[in-house]
């Protein structure tokens, strides 16, 4: 649905916890909210960027966001666009107020979103800085009605007593937090870097073993493919796996796998089980085209 609204040069990233509580809300109205926020984000990112949706449980221990203490489901909808001027933030939910030029907006979109959330017993707030993007926070009260039980899917488990170490290279903090949590839940030791250049320096200065690099594709300073080409020279047997929602690098299919420059790639948004399965597959040496896993004694500096 969102892909039809957002052009290809805007990456869509969605992160949802596995144990999100139920809420009582109209699904069509929630879709309407997301569509409005997506269209606003599109207009704020004419040259491209990232549109993110993050869903998590949140407990308020005191009155906050004009809501009583209690359990809520939080939906954070963010973009990396032009942002909103401070003097306008207090007006954006007012009916007929719009920052768009005449003829491009009615000013009813955010007002309608605010009303839908309020009718559901929740709140809608916004944080934004010019040039740094915008984040909308939707809080909906936890429902006392249990969600339908779904049959659990098998989870790829690491080998017993595994001591494998994975470096995550990602510039989006929301994606980084979720990926770190997923890999740690799978029993892995996790290192992090905010971009390829930071990862390159970390690897060069590290004497301890490193088993795999999981990298975003498009990042400031040094992107994932550039980092992978560097590692092919200095650590030729260190596996690199890409994660991406959209990039200018062509994504090819091979044996049912997505690949970028012959490296395995996982497409955002991905489920934690999907990531754990792919990582386990690569570490076990099932990736015929990528770099194989180094024994700990060999995978060292130099």
CATH code, domain with 128: 3.30.565.10
The whole-angstrom separation of Cα 206 and Cα 202 is 6
| 135 lies in the same domain as 208 | no
The whole-angstrom separation of Cα 231 and Cα 215 is 12
Question: Tens of pLDDT along 132-167?
Answer: 999 999 999 999 876 555 555 555 554 444 579 999
Total of domains in the chain: 2
Structure tokens at 142: 């936890």
| 6 lies in the same domain as 119 | yes
pLDDT, residue 166, reads 97
- Of 1, 39, 123, which is closest to residue 74 (Cα–Cα)? 123
The residue ranges of the chain whose pLDDT is under 50 are: 102-107, 158-161, 288-302
Domain coverage including residue 191: 165-283
pLDDT, residue 17, reads 83
Residue 280 three-state SS: helix
* Residue 154 falls inside a structural domain: no
DSSP secondary structure code for residue 136 in this structure: E
| 15 lies in the same domain as 116 | yes
Contact 52, 79 (CB under 8 A): yes
* Residue 289 falls inside a structural domain: no
pLDDT, residue 28, reads 84
CATH number of the domain encompassing residue 204: 3.40.50.2300
């Amino acid at each position: 649905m969102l892909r039809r609204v957002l052009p290809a040069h805007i990456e869509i990233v969605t992160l949802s916890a596995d144990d999100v509580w139920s809420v009582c809300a109209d699904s069509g109205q929630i879709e309407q909210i997301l569509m409005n926020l997506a269209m606003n984000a599109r207009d704020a990112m004419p040259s491209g960027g990232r549109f993110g949706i993050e869903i998590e449980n949140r407990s308020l221990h005191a009155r906050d966001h004009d809501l009583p203490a209690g359990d809520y489901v939080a939906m954070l909808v963010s973009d990396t666009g032009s942002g909103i001027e401070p003097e306008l933030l207090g007006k954006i939910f007012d009916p007929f107020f719009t920052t768009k030029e005449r003829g491009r907006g009615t000013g009813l979109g955010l007002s309608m979103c605010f009303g839908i959330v309020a009718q559901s017993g929740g709140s809608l707030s916004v944080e934004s800085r010019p040039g740094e993007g915008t984040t909308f926070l939707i809080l909906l009260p936890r429902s006392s009605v249990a969600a339908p039980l779904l049959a659990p899917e098998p989870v790829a488990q690491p080998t017993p007593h595994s001591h494998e170490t994975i470096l995550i290279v990602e510039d989006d903090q929301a994606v980084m937090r979720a990926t770190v949590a997923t890999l740690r839940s799978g029993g892995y030791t996790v290192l992090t870097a905010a971009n390829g250049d930071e990862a390159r320096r970390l690897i060069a200065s590290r004497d301890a073993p490193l088993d795999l690099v999981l990298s975003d594709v498009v990042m400031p300073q040094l992107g994932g493919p550039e980092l992978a080409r560097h590692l092919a020279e200095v650590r030729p047997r260190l596996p690199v796996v890409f994660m991406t929602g959209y990039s200018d690098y062509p994504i090819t299919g091979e044996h049912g796998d997505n690949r970028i420059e012959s490296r395995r790639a996982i497409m955002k948004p991905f489920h934690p089980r999907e990531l754990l399965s792919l990582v386990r597959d690569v570490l076990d040496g099932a990736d015929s085209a990528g770099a194989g896993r180094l024994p700990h004694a060999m995978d060292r500096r130099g």
